[in-house]
């Protein structure tokens, strides 16, 4: 392709730390900006070099065995070398569901029956490398145009459609449909690893990762445990954000309790004194949970929190309060 000849050569596609969106509390409409759906799934970088396919999570964990149908779909593509950024999702009705995706995420090698019952799709939204060329310094709109042109999008691979300029009505539509939100991206921006103001996220629902630092004993007919005690890091300290007691099914309670019991410690990992003390078990802050919630209280606690699932694609030390 003529437009690639002047771009920097890159021997083969390799790991690139993902570009991350910054949370914003006000949707806008703006020329030159592109607006995409915000998916409730797992971020993934798909790398191809000849016959070799690598699906990597945002903390570089290999996902090939979890999603073999995606490996096959990328291997069937025409380009011999590429790096594609996207999101692995499944659906509950017409809405992507992280909670449902948990049933695939927890399996090292899902059976054909599980793959039929919980199908996944890869929504591609960026192209970082193509046939020996580093294209990360092309404007986003050009990268997306190349992406749509060079890959054959048929299930389970899908191109992430976008709208231009009109972000506010798109955000309102997304919230009416029950989406998590939308992502706003500067169409002229280059791909830069890390958190960026060139990519912004507008959320219809409050949801983020939290570190698990303890759990409470079950009460009544509840089994395994009652609630998770969660927090986030701030200035190197783990801040307590409250208890999360809803959103679990029986299988999750049992499997998560098994993991938690192996991490128990005598002292709390949280850096504050006003912690619950009765019927509490403290754990080493190793596990990360995805939590939905109504809002933050004035003292930094979660109101109406609900467990969505566990994440293994983000390190606990990297979990902070999104602002």
Residues recognised as catalytic: 38
Cβ atoms of residues 13 and 48 within 8 Å: yes
Please report which helix (H) or strand (E) contains residue 68, including its range. Answer: helix 68-75
Sign of dihedral through CA atoms 111, 112, 116, 119?
Answer: positive
Q: Which of 258, 262, 269 has its CA nearest to residue 213?
A: 269
Cβ atoms of residues 126 and 90 within 8 Å: no
93's CB contacts (< 8 A; 6+ apart) are none
Name the percent of the chain in helix, strand, coil, to the closest 5.
20, 35, 45
DSSP class per residue in 96-164: E-HHHHHHHHT-SS--HHHHHHS--EEEEEEEEEETTEE-TTS-HHHHHHHHHHHS---TTEEE---EE
Virtual torsion, Cα 138, 139, 145, 146, nearest 10 deg: 10
Other C-beta atoms closer than 10 Å to the C-beta of 22 total: 14
Q: How far is CA 276 from CA 25, 216, 230, 272, 281, in A?
A: 32, 9, 12, 11, 10
Report the number of secondary-structure helices (H) and strands (E) in the chain: 6, 22
Of the chain, the end-to-end C-alpha distance in Å amounts to 42
Cβ atoms of residues 201 and 26 within 8 Å: no
């Amino acid at each position: 392709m003529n437009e690639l000849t002047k771009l920097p050569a890159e021997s083969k596609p390799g790991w690139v730390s993902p570009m991350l969106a910054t949370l914003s509390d006000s949707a806008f409409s703006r020329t030159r900006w592109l607006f995409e759906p915000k998916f409730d799934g797992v971020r993934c970088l798909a790398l191809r070099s000849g016959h070799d396919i690598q699906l990597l999570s945002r903390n570089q964990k290999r996902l090939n065995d979890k999603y073999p149908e995606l490996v096959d779909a990328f291997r069937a593509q025409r380009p011999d070398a590429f790096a594609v950024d996207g999101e692995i999702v499944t659906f509950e009705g017409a809405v992507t569901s992280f909670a449902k995706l948990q049933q695939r995420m927890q399996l090292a090698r899902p059976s054909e029956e599980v793959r039929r019952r919980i199908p996944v799709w890869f929504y591609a939204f960026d192209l970082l490398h193509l046939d020996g060329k580093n294209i990360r310094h092309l404007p986003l709109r050009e990268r997306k145009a190349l992406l749509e042109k060079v890959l054959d999008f048929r299930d389970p691979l899908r191109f992430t459609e976008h709208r231009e300029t009109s972000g506010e009505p798109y955000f309102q539509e997304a919230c009416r449909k029950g989406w998590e939100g939308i992502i706003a991206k500067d169409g002229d921006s280059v791909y830069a690893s890390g958190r960026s103001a060139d990519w912004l996220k507008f959320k219809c629902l409050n949801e983020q990762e939290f570190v698990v630092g303890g759990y409470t004993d079950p009460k009544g007919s509840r089994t395994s445990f009652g609630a998770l005690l969660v927090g986030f890091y701030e200035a190197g300290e783990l801040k307590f954000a409250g208890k999360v007691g809803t959103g679990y099914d029986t299988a999750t309670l049992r499997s998560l309790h098994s993991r938690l019991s192996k991490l128990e410690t005598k002292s709390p990992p949280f850096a504050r004194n006003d912690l619950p003390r009765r019927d509490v078990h403290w754990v080493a802050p190793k596990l990360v949970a995805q939590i939905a919630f109504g809002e933050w209280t004035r003292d930094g606690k979660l109101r109406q929190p609900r467990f969505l699932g566990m994440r293994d694609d983000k390190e606990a030390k990297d979990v902070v309060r999104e602002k």
